Amino acid sequence: MKLSANDHSSWNISRRFFGDLVPFRLALLLGIGLQLIGVGLELAQPWAMQQIFDRALIGRASNAAQIVYVGSACLAAAVLLRIVVNHVATLKIVATGHALTRALRLRVFRHLVELPPNFHTRQKSGDLLMRLMGDAPMVSTMLVEASSHLVTRAIQVVGTVALMVWVDLRLTLTLAIFLPIIFFVARFLAGKLRIATRKQRRKEGDMADYMQESLGAAALIQSLGREGDAVRAFAKTNRRNARAGLKTARAAARLSSSVEGLLAIALGITVLLGGLRVLQPAADFSAGELIVFISYVRGLMKPIRSAAKHQARVAKGTACGERLLRVLDEDRPVRLTSGKKVPVSAPVCLAYERVSYAYPGAERALRHVSFEVRAGDYVALFGASGAGKSTLAALALRLMDPDQGRVTLDGVELPEYDLDRLRERFALSMQSTMLFGASVAENLQLGDPEAEEPAMWRALEDAGAAEMVRELPGGLEYRLGASGSALSGGQRKRICLARAFLRKSPILIADEPFNGLDAHASARVEASLRQHAADGGMVIVVTHDAGSLHSFDRVLFLDGGRLIGAGTDRELRGTAIAYQHMVEVAEGSRA
């Protein structure tokens, strides 16, 4: 169920996350139960004081000293026991909150990695990071800490009011006038706080995104001499974020101070009216009972004050919950349409049948493209940037599905296969080098988690990267830095190719595998790709480099999202004018 325009209340947001809370319900109920025991002990404390004042200090009973001793001991015991119980309850609630935060982050992260590429291209990565790292804990705080305290304090208020009615009905009715005022003031100001928090989180996401982009492009900024401009832009973003944070703090302060002020007025009226009744000659209200009543009024202030604080957390959690649900409500059409069939270990034919695809908000990237690649083929997808080559590769791995037409493997449409088993048949080396800040070995094992060192070295040899890795300090254990920043572009390319070779999948798709490589490395990679095809695999190379086209068994020429021609380099030079022109221009630029 997606978040609609009318579902922004705290309850509607919270109940969307109740399923995440179910595994921790026993721990949460135990924490609430311990808090309620603490409430009971707190409600019992004033009665020991009442006995000491009325019977011992004012009434001067014959056993006054004994009453003082016993009353003091009972009061001390109740306080100490309450402290212990509340300590254990706090630990249990906090542990449950941390466990729920981990579960929420895992759920959101799993959803993010399964969303199609076009979702990530239109999102700011810094904002997504803020949702994962900042919004998830706020939602957890709302669901666990704030909700448990609100439930406990609500029960405490009911119990306190019941005892106040039992002590003196008239004073209780006088104070009851303030309760609806406090409730509506808190509700109104909490709404303001929720709006302010939503704006603040959006500003924080913008700042995180700018920091990530700027730090990732530090070398470019320095080469252009734009460090000052980058700092000034960050300062501007930082000021906006600080202003949003200040507005949120002001909204929270207004909520707290308004409730505090109303409670102070209520306490003053209680002391005034109760004191006047005790001073009456025929008073039916003792000083001890006044002390008990004032204790309960002050005790009533505590849960109401706490409710105001936790209402602020609920408001913040609601705003953050909305942001998480915007992500969780994004459709995963590819994952949800995964079939049950398992492709054979060595597929024979990958076919595109009148395939068309358009990215959201853009013109069509592919228009009625049809071709097939068979086992043993060494094929190039050639064309200018934006011709649709990488889109065809993405469709084969079901990173998205075509708008029209279909892609089949051995005559079976791809959605009929189990998605994970289908992707096991493919190895992909992308144009953009995707490496993590881990060791060389850990990056390679993304292709095959069970791979041993000998297999890794063979894959590195096939990619022409073995000698380069041996020269690194620690070899396979050398840590690459964030996004592989410790390596050059060509080195990163070869590590990514080695990862694809290590996967040992029958269908190998390499996007611009020769880009950034020297002649020796390019020849080594080309030999490995050819050998993979000769061993019965399918090799599809996405390229706009005309220099290597003569080495392919077949070239598929794309232009403007259409398949213009298919054949050998020699055949296309004689039949496809656009192909001939593009190749001649490329050869002329190299000359």
CB atoms within 10 A of CB 215: 11
Apex 337 CA angle, 332 and 341, nearest 5:
140
Identify the pLDDT of residue 213. Answer: 65
CA-closest candidate to residue 540, choices 41, 288, 532: 532
Amino acid letter at 200? Q
DSSP strand pairing (349-358 vs 554-559): unpaired
Identify the pLDDT of residue 272. Answer: 77
Amino acid letter at 31? G
Identify the pLDDT of residue 45. Answer: 75
* Structural domains of the chain, with CATH: 10-331 (1.20.1560.10)
- Over its length of 591 residues, how does the chain's per-residue pLDDT go in tens digits? 555 545 556 778 888 888 888 888 888 889 888 888 888 887 777 776 666 666 666 656 666 677 777 777 877 888 888 889 888 988 888 889 888 988 888 888 888 888 877 777 777 777 777 787 888 888 888 888 888 887 887 787 788 778 777 877 777 777 777 777 777 877 787 777 777 877 777 777 777 767 766 666 665 565 556 667 777 777 887 888 788 878 887 877 777 777 777 777 777 777 777 777 767 666 566 666 677 777 777 766 666 666 666 667 777 788 888 888 888 888 877 777 888 889 998 899 999 999 999 887 777 888 999 999 999 999 999 888 778 888 888 888 888 888 899 999 999 999 999 988 898 898 888 776 677 777 888 888 888 888 888 888 888 888 888 888 888 888 888 887 666 666 777 778 888 888 888 888 899 988 888 776 777 878 888 888 888 899 899 999 988 777 778 888 898 988 888 888 888 888 888 777 888 887 777 666 554
Bridge partners (DSSP) of residue 562 are: 559
Helices and strands: H and E segment counts in the chain: 23, 10
CB 396 within 8 A of CB 538: no
pTM of the model: 0.68
Whole-angstrom distance, CA of residue 60 vs CA of residue 82: 30
SS3 sequence of 539-588: EEEEECCHHHHHHCCEEEEEECCEEEEEECHHHHHHHCHHHHHHHHHHHH
Q: Please identify which residue in the block is written with the tokens 């609500």.
A: 154
Strands (E), 290-377: 349-358, 364-374
Query: What are the φ/ψ torsions at residue 558 (nearest 5 degrees)?
Result: -115, 140
Per-residue b or e along 344-363, where b marks 16 or more CB atoms closer than 10 Å to that residue's CB: eeebeebbbbebbbbeeeee
Whole-angstrom distance, CA of residue 506 vs CA of residue 487: 29
CA-closest candidate to residue 271, choices 297, 245, 246: 297
Q: Residue 510 belongs to what H/E stretch?
A: strand 507-511
Identify the pLDDT of residue 5. Answer: 47
Q: Which two structure tokens, joined as six digits, stand for 503? A: 């996967």
Identify the pLDDT of residue 412. Answer: 92
Identify the pLDDT of residue 61. Answer: 61
